[in-house]
């Protein structure tokens, strides 16, 4: 799980905030500087995201003996965390030791969410706003004690956590693995029947056990593929309570076992939240993806143009998505599936040589330098593609990159090298 570290000077309210977030009173928090409990990480959850919450509050007592400064403690925490919740006491404002931590945070390049704590009224709002000049983005005014504002703060913190994209292990000898996912009734089993037809072989991965066979070896477009978890599609489970939850667990498991996910959507009705969630599940899992808009036989000739435009609107946040229109019922355009899957997997497998990558970035930066922020301009020193499946890039810089600039790099990288149908990840490492 990703780790969110709560960092800040003694007595700014770190432990109160941690207790507030995990919803328990695990320890006595006294209103005396330096009096807190042992350092621990707690499992926490917000808005469907699980993470570990690391409380550095308890370090104070311990590290006093070791004579570690607040900045040194923060350095350790920053090192260990994926994102940082930096707490400042709004009633005091930013102190010299806060400024030191800010420098470390900027240097780390890790995502930071700024909490302006002890904001209990309008005066506090003003004090909180003055923390904009720390250069860490928007200060979230909160009262850890009363709970005020912590929802917005947690929304921001959870959004800042990286979605984990680990390299997917692929057997180069085996057929490529496809998951067919989508909310109920979009036409998964219909498409499965179209694709698999009669030439279907059930692959029992756990021969000799009583477990259900879950995968099928199928021939599509004259080639062998493995469709994962087709048992989940064929077996109709009717549930009322918690159906959504179990469906999304099952979908998640299928995606995990696949290299590419075909996300089925019903073109004849508007996208639903459940559709969007399935798409996010694939993106966050770092799998290649093809969006399959089914049931086009229900779309009248005169509606097509408008429908196309509205689908483009829906997917504006996902410009790299590959999409095809087809009808599982009539078989129309189902021959477009394999080329789309090949393209998505090709992107997912693609490796850009370090030489090409750096000459591309060199030209990009020369043409569009990073904006100067408070007199500083981070330099891009070097980049490399750390892995494929999905493609992950590491960029070494001399300072924290603006999130907008990072997105700009991703956009240009995609324009230059394709990567259609594959998510990709860009990590930034700040070097001295
Ligand atoms: P699943 O729950 O995703 O497996 O969806 P099904 O394959 O069971 O399909 C749900 C309903 O949509 C069924 O009544 C299908 O006949 C219908 N359906 C599936 N694909 C199409 C299609 O391309 N066109 C039309 N008109 N109906 C379809």
Residue 412: is its pLDDT beyond 90?
yes
* 2-27 per-position pLDDT tens digit: 889 999 988 898 888 988 888 754 54
* Residue-level pLDDT at 64: 46
Residue 149 lies in a domain: yes
Residue 236 lies in a domain: yes
What is the 3-state composition of the chain as percent helix, strand, coil, each rounded to the nearest 5?
40, 20, 40
Ligand 1 contacts CB of residue 183 (under 6 A): no
56 is in an annotated binding site: yes
Over residues 31-46, the mean pLDDT reads 57
Q: Are strands 49-55 and 40-46 parallel, antiparallel or unpaired?
A: antiparallel
**Is the Cα torsion angle 18, 20, 26, 28 positive or negative in sign?**
positive
Provide φ and ψ at 87, rounded to 5°.
-105, 125
Residue 202 lies in a domain: yes
Residue 233 lies in a domain: yes
DSSP code per residue over 181-217: E-STTSSHHHHHHHHHTT-EEEE-TTTTSSSPP-EEE
Q: Give the integer Cα–Cα distance in Å for 145 and 90.
A: 13
Beta-ladder partners of 397:
380, 430
Q: How many residues does the chain have?
A: 432
- CB-count burial class (<10 Å; 0-12, 13-18, 19+) for 137: middle
11 is in an annotated binding site: yes
Question: By mean pLDDT, which of 155-159, 210-214, 310-314 is the weakest?
Answer: 210-214
Q: How confident is the model at residue 240 (pLDDT cuts 50, 70, 90)?
A: low
Ligand 1 contacts CB of residue 189 (under 6 A): yes
Residue 187 lies in a domain: yes
Over residues 46-54, the mean pLDDT reads 82
Question: By mean pLDDT, which of 139-148, 200-209, 293-302, 397-406 is the weakest?
Answer: 200-209
Residue 168 lies in a domain: no
Residue 167 lies in a domain: no
275 is in an annotated binding site: no
Please report which residue ranges of 315-353 form alpha helices under DSSP H: 337-349
- Which of helix, strand or coil describes residue 347? helix
Q: Side-chain half-sphere of 94: how many Cα atoms within 13 Å?
A: 19
**What separation in Å is there between the alpha carbon of 260 and the centre of ligand 1?**
22
For residues 413 and 314, state if they share a domain.
no
297 is in an annotated binding site: yes
For residues 77 and 145, state if they share a domain.
yes
For residues 317 and 196, state if they share a domain.
yes
Number of domains the chain is built from: 3
Ligand 1 contacts CB of residue 295 (under 6 A): yes
Q: Is 95 left (phi over 0), alpha (psi -120 to 50) or beta?
A: beta
Domain boundary among the residues 319, 348, 377 is at: 348
For residues 236 and 278, state if they share a domain.
yes
For residues 272 and 377, state if they share a domain.
no
With the most atoms of ligand 1 within 8 angstroms of its CB, the residue from 235, 261, 328, 330 to mutate is 328
Of residues 25 and 431, more confidently modeled: 431
CATH at 418: 3.30.300.20
Beta-ladder partners of 392:
387, 425
Ligand 1 contacts CB of residue 230 (under 6 A): no
Beta-ladder partners of 5:
54, 84
Residue 154 lies in a domain: yes
Instruction: Provide ipTM, 2 decimals.
Output: 0.91
Domain boundary among the residues 348, 365, 385 is at: 348
Residue 375 is part of which domain span? 354-430
For residues 28 and 147, state if they share a domain.
yes
For residues 64 and 32, state if they share a domain.
yes
DSSP state letter for 373: B
Q: Which helix (H) or strand (E) holds 106?
A: helix 96-108
> Whose Cα sits closest to atom 22 in ligand 1?
295
DSSP state letter for 250: H
223 is in an annotated binding site: no
> Whose Cα sits closest to atom 2 in ligand 1?
185
CATH at 255: 3.40.50.300
For residues 154 and 184, state if they share a domain.
no
For residues 238 and 338, state if they share a domain.
yes
Using the atom order of ligand 1, give the atom closest to the CA of residue 298. 26
Provide φ and ψ at 223, rounded to 5°.
-125, 160
Provide φ and ψ at 333, rounded to 5°.
70, 5
Mean pLDDT over all residues of the chain?
84
Ligand 1 contacts CB of residue 190 (under 6 A): yes
Six-digit token pair at 114? 């700024």
Beta-ladder partners of 291:
263, 323
pTM of the model: 0.67
* 359-397 per-position pLDDT tens digit: 999 999 999 999 887 677 889 999 999 899 999 998 988
DSSP code per residue over 375-430: TB-PPEEEEEEEETTTTEEEEEESSPPPHHHHHHHHHHHHHHH--TT---EEEEEE
Q: Which residue has the tokens 């004259």?
A: 222
**What separation in Å is there between the alpha carbon of 243 and the centre of ligand 1?**
19
**What separation in Å is there between the alpha carbon of 294 and the centre of ligand 1?**
8
For residues 77 and 195, state if they share a domain.
no
**What separation in Å is there between the alpha carbon of 292 and the centre of ligand 1?**
13
> Residues 264, 182: contact at Cβ < 8 Å?
yes
* Residue-level pLDDT at 191: 92
Tell me the CA end-to-end span of the chain in Å, nearest whole number: 28
15 is in an annotated binding site: yes
> Residues 145, 137: contact at Cβ < 8 Å?
no
Domain boundary among the residues 348, 382, 414 is at: 348
DSSP code per residue over 156-183: HHHHHSPPP-PPPP--TTSPEEEEEE-S
For residues 147 and 280, state if they share a domain.
no
> Residues 182, 232: contact at Cβ < 8 Å?
no
* 294-347 per-position pLDDT tens digit: 999 999 999 999 999 999 998 988 999 999 999 999 999 999 999 999 999 999
Q: Give the integer Cα–Cα distance in Å for 182 and 184.
A: 7
Using the atom order of ligand 1, give the atom closest to the CA of residue 327. 23
For residues 217 and 98, state if they share a domain.
no
Ligand 1 contacts CB of residue 185 (under 6 A): yes
């Amino acid at each position: 799980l990703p780790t969110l570290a709560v960092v800040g000077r003694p007595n700014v309210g770190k432990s109160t905030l941690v207790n507030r977030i995990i919803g328990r009173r695990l320890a006595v928090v006294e209103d005396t500087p330096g009096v807190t409990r042992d350092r621990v990480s707690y499992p926490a959850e917000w808005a469907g995201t699980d993470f570990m919450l690391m409380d550095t509050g308890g370090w104070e007592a311990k590290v006093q003996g070791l004579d570690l400064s607040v900045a040194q403690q923060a350095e350790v925490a920053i090192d260990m965390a994926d994102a940082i919740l930096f707490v400042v006491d709004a009633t005091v404002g930013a102190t010299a030791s806060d400024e030191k931590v800010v420098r470390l945070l900027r240097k780390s390049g890790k995502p930071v969410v700024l909490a302006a704590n002890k904001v209990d009224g309008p005066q506090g709002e003003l004090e909180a706003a003055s923390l904009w000049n720390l250069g860490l983005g928007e200060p979230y005014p909160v009262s850890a004690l009363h709970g005020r504002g912590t929802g917005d703060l947690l929304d921001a913190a959870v959004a800042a956590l990286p979605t984990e994209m680990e390299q997917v292990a692929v057997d180069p000898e085996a057929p490529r693995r496809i998951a067919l996912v989508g909310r109920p009734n979009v036409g998964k089993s219909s498409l499965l029947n179209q694709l698999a037809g009669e030439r279907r072989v059930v692959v029992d991965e756990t021969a000799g056990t009583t477990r259900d066979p879950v995968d099928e070896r199928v021939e599509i477009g004259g080639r062998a593929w493995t469709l994962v978890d087709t048992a989940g599609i064929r077996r109709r489970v009717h549930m009322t309570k918690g159906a959504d939850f179990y469906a999304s667990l099952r979908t998640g498991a299928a995606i995990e076992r696949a290299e590419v996910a075909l996300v089925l959507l019903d073109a004849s009705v508007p996208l639903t939240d459940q559709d969007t969630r399935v798409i996010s599940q694939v993106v966050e899992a770092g799998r290649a993806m093809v969006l399959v808009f089914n049931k086009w036989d229900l779309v009248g000739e005169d509606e097509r143009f408008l429908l196309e435009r509205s689908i483009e609107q829906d997917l504006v946040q996902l410009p790299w998505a590959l999409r095809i229109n087809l009808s599982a019922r009539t078989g129309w355009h189902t021959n477009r599936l394999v080329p789309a899957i090949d393209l998505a997997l090709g992107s997912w497998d693609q490796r850009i040589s370090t030489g090409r990558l750096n000459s591309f970035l060199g030209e990009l930066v020369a043409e569009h330098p990073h904006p100067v922020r408070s007199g500083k301009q981070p330099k891009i020193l070097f980049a490399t593609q750390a892995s494929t499946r999905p493609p992950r890039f590491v960029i070494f810089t001399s300072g924290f990159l603006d999130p907008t600039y990072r997105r700009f790099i991703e956009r240009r990288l995609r324009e230059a090298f394709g990567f259609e149908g594959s998510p990709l990840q860009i990590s930034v490492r700040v070097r001295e």
